[in-house]
Amino acid sequence: MNKRLFDLLAASAGLLMLAPLLLIIALWIKLDSPGPVLFRQKRVGQRGVIFDILKFRTMVDAAAPASLLTIGNDRRITRAGRFLRRHKLDELPQLINVICGAMSLVGPRPEVPRYVASYSPEVRALVLSVKPGITDWASICYKDENAILARSANPEQAYLEAVMPAKLAFNLRYVRERSFWTDLRIILSTLAALLR
């Protein structure tokens, strides 16, 4: 209950304070390329419930889904999208997901159903026992994930065999040790990483 209250207050305050920036970003996206401002994608939430994660659109509208992963200098990414992705500004609409209750500020990053299907039953049960979050330790440690995968001959295989297991290890540790103070540390670490 305390976590949900903190999420509601912090996400609402964040949306209010960031409203001018959000409007500027939305206008930039509309002027940069045709299509909607927001991008929606199915992700797996708490207890396996599927929800639509919200992001600012960073690719050309109706981009061919060649891969669930966006690697390096993907030609589908727009000019505005490159800047938004580099500075993680495309993630800001997820504050709406937090207010609606599908996500938390801090928690394991939600995955697409295809990748969650590869979790072992034990890992799936534990990771999906909490709400997914906008940020977590894995997001901080793998903030350059796209650049890492771009160096692989088979990015999806590299993700499934190396990156995803490492991120899941962070997720499992978070679920077992989570607390308000852990969440606060992750939030502050995320802000520090963004400023750097």
What's the pLDDT tens digit per position in 116-126? 999 999 999 99
- DSSP β-bridge partners for residue 43: 51
Mean pLDDT lowest among 41-50, 123-132, 142-151, 170-179: 142-151
pLDDT band at 72 (very low <50, low <70, confident <90, very high): low
Question: Cα(166)–Cα(12) distance, rounded to whole angstroms?
Answer: 32
pLDDT band at 113 (very low <50, low <70, confident <90, very high): very high
Q: For residue 110, give both structure tokens.
A: 């939600």
Averaged pLDDT for residues 27-45: 96
- Looking at residue 3, its amino acid is K
- Is the distance from CB of 116 to CB of 44 less than 8 angstroms? yes
Give pLDDT, residue 75.
81
pLDDT band at 159 (very low <50, low <70, confident <90, very high): confident
Residue partners of 81: CB distance under 8 A and separation at least 6: 29, 32, 57, 58, 59, 90
The answer to whether the pTM exceeds 0.85 is yes
- Left if phi > 0, otherwise alpha if psi is -120 to 50, otherwise beta: which for 178? beta
Give pLDDT, residue 67.
59
95 pLDDT higher than 80? yes
Among 120, 99, 96, which Cα is nearest to 171's?
Answer: 120
Give pLDDT, residue 194.
83
pLDDT band at 64 (very low <50, low <70, confident <90, very high): low
First to last CA, the chain: 33
Question: Cα(6)–Cα(117) distance, rounded to whole angstroms?
Answer: 31
Among 94, 174, 182, 163, which Cα is nearest to 127's?
Answer: 174
Question: Cα(17)–Cα(171) distance, rounded to whole angstroms?
Answer: 30
